[in-house]
Amino acid sequence: MAGMFAWGHMGGFWSNQPVRVALVVGGGAALVCAVVGLSTVMRRQAFAGHALADVSGAGGSASFLLGINPLFGFLGMAAAAAGVMEWAQVREARERDLLTGVVLGAGLGLAALLLYLDMTVRNVSGAAITVLFGSMFTIPPSIVPVALTVAAAALGASALVFRPLLVSTLSVDLARAQGASVRTIALIHALALALAVSLAAMTVGAILSTALLIGPAAAALQVARRPATALALAVLIGLAAAWGGIALAYQSYYWTAGHGWPVSFFIVMLIVCAYLVASAAARRRAGSSATAPRSGCQEH
Amino acid sequence: MFSAFMLHAWIVATLVAVAAGCVGFFVVARRAAFAAHALPLGAFPGAAAASLMGVNELWGLAGFAVLGVLVIGQLQRAGRREIASALWLTSALALGVLLLGLSGRYAQSVYGLLFGDLLGIDTRQMAVVAAFSGLTVALVAWVGRPLLLDSLSSELASAAGARARALEFVFLGILALSTAIAVPVVGALLVFSLMVGPASAARACTDRPWRSLAIAVGICLATVWSAIALAYVTNWPVGFFVGMLSAVCYVAGRLRGGAVALAQVA
């Protein structure tokens, strides 16, 4: 226990193949989630983002059954759910909340069935854990090119609509006046969200990918006053949490003899700490300058 | 289908459906679907913590449910409720993954806690679920009026002397206790589907709030009973049928609502 916090065990860290794959895929997922998460939080779509992640878990379960690359399973299901939610085109906030809940319930029901079939038909017993909570150190290296392509596509889609999305979040009429098609923008954003969420579901698992998506963005919006600062801060927090989590999980093999702690646990805890620090900082600043304008995340 | 070992499943599902219908009415009215998802799901690490410490599972679940209410209530003062729900949910689940890993109880117990295990319910579990369902219905009957007023118009409610913050805590408390206790029996995800779909369909049937609540309970019961029957016949998980039937309820409600609106225009 004496060496618990001494970084003496990091010798094999960089030369370890699963660790390197985890660093690349996890870093990519954190980066994409931070960027897409920022517009998701600003558009008040945190619940939708979480629902997409959970529903994508059904796709992950299906991939075990069909024997295809899990990333495509996650991706297909997330895209389908995002399509349903955008197609239903609900304007009123209460209806959007309900529709998201219903899609989530149906998707989870489907996940229950597919996981059950995984267990009975294919005899894959650990599928529930892998799909829902991720297993970063068992990602096959062959997935890296596909994962990086998905990450690049999500970043591209997000960059394409970031400005008009920001405008249409503030005022739909203003966006229309600038000649933007609000519907197309929303659709592209939903697609970017689906890509980001499936990538995160691969790494930290379907249920916990919400942390990567919402946490860094919400923390950044607590303290930043401009979109660019918020973006940089969210990316920084996301990457630090993902890589820090991997390093801590690697270390944890030495804490409890030969039996590591889950990576997802460390990543989520680091993100939650960042959020708490950010809100404390925001409160403190609000206390010292009560008249200063605060970022858009504050109102209830 | 009605043999002795299924009897407990029928009784427990009926009790849970009544409680879920009552609470679901307020979940829909207060736009709290995310909290309704986060509280029961966030309570599931409690079961793992309890088994690690060697105490009764129910204490762990109840403890985490109460903790969830406090954390969401506290966090939503600083930010928005959806952010608070997301952060509580993910940190609780992360803790759950860790505890499950440390306690060595793995895949099968996770599946049961998430998606439910209606078979193998013993009499003691049934009594606990009955007690908490009764408590939920009693609490709803007690605070239902101010809670409804607050959901429809918080200005009106505070004018009538209600305290919004206290009501929010009471609502989250009812939500947490009614759902968390049912988690080992029906699963965290099944409870959630039962709260959202039927109550949203009930809205389309009537404009009167209390009648809508009664209809929500009725649809909940129909959903759960059909789901168990279908699960018994096909041998597929109950959660699948509850999720799908709940979505069907919602779509039917939307279609009916649209038809009524059209008829009024014509």
CA atoms within 13 A of residue A193's CA, in its CB half-sphere: 33
CATH number at residue B29: 1.10.3470.10
Question: Is the residue at B29 inside a domain?
Answer: yes
The parts of chain A modelled with pLDDT lower than 70 are 1-12, 89-94, 123-129, 180, 256-259, 289-300
Å from B141 to nearest chain A CA? 24
Q: How far apart are CA A227 and CA A238, in angstroms?
A: 16
Question: Is the residue at B245 inside a domain?
Answer: no
Nearest CB neighbour to A272, from listed B32, B87, B250: B87
pLDDT in the model for residue A244: 92
pLDDT in the model for residue A5: 44
Sign of CA dihedral B51, B54, B58, B59: negative
* pLDDT tens figures, B113-135: 777 777 767 787 788 888 888 98
pLDDT in the model for residue B44: 78
pLDDT in the model for residue A44: 83
* CA nearest to B179, candidates B10, B26, B44, B8: B44
pLDDT above 50 for B216 = yes
Contact list, B102 vs chain A (CB under 8 Å): 256, 261
Computed over its alpha carbons, how large is the radius of gyration of chain B? 18
Between residues 105 and 124 of chain A, which touch chain B (CB distance below 8 Å)? 105-110, 112-113, 115-116, 119
* Predicted structure pTM score: 0.84
DSSP letters for A31-54: HHHHHHHHHHHHTT-HHHHHHHHH
Domain boundaries, chain A: 10-282
Q: Which residues contact A49 (CB under 8 A, 6 or more apart)?
A: A37, A40, A193, A197, A210, A213, A214
Between residues 273 and 292 of chain A, which touch chain B (CB distance below 8 Å)? 275, 279, 282-283
Question: Is the residue at B152 inside a domain?
Answer: yes
Å from A94 to nearest chain B CA? 6
Other CB atoms within 10 A of residue A236 CB: 14
Diameter of chain B measured on Cα atoms: 65
Sign of CA dihedral A37, A41, A43, A46: positive
pLDDT above 70 for B221 = yes
Question: Is the residue at B46 inside a domain?
Answer: yes
Classified by CATH at the fold level, domain A10-282 comes out as ABC transporter involved in vitamin B12 uptake, BtuC (1.10.3470)
DSSP letters for A64-106: HHHT--HHHHHHHHHHHHHHHHHHH---SHHHHHHHHHHHHHH
For the question of an ipTM over 0.90, the answer is no
Å from A88 to nearest chain B CA? 11
pLDDT above 80 for B217 = yes
Nearest CB neighbour to A93, from listed B31, B85, B243: B31
Other CB atoms within 10 A of residue B124 CB: 10
The residue-averaged pLDDT of B46-68 equals: 82
* CA nearest to B216, candidates A123, A181, A98: A98
The residue-averaged pLDDT of B205-219 equals: 86
Contact list, B201 vs chain A (CB under 8 Å): none
Structural domains in chain B (count): 1
* CA nearest to A28, candidates A125, A131, A145, A168: A145
**pLDDT level of residue B107 (50, 70, 90 thresholds):** low
Percent helix, strand and coil across chain A, each rounded to 5? Answer: 80, 0, 20
Å from A179 to nearest chain B CA? 31
Contact list, A108 vs chain B (CB under 8 Å): 189, 192-193, 239, 243
Q: Say which residue the tokens 């609540």 belong to.
A: B213
Residue A187 in contact with partner chain B when CB distance is under 8 A: no
pLDDT in the model for residue A10: 58
pLDDT in the model for residue B77: 74
pLDDT in the model for residue B170: 87
Q: What token pair was written down for A16?
A: 């370890």
* CA nearest to B237, candidates B246, B247, B227, B245: B227
Above pLDDT 90, what percent of chain B? 4
Nearest CB neighbour to A128, from listed B86, B110, B242: B110
The residue-averaged pLDDT of B151-163 equals: 72
Average pLDDT, chain B: 82
pLDDT in the model for residue B208: 83
Q: Which residues contact B215 (CB under 8 A, 6 or more apart)?
A: B202, B205, B206
Residue A141 in contact with partner chain B when CB distance is under 8 A: no
Question: Is the residue at B80 inside a domain?
Answer: yes
> Angle A290-A294-A300 (CA atoms, 0-180°, nearest 5)?
105
Question: Is the residue at B132 inside a domain?
Answer: yes
Q: Is the Cβ pair B243, A110 closer than 8 Å?
A: yes
Residue span of the structural domain in which B65 resides: 4-187
Other CB atoms within 10 A of residue B248 CB: 15
Question: Is the residue at B147 inside a domain?
Answer: yes
Residue B243 in contact with partner chain A when CB distance is under 8 A: yes
Q: What token pair was written down for A192?
A: 């970017």
Burial class (CB in 10 A: 0-12, 13-18, 19+), B189: buried
pLDDT above 80 for B233 = yes
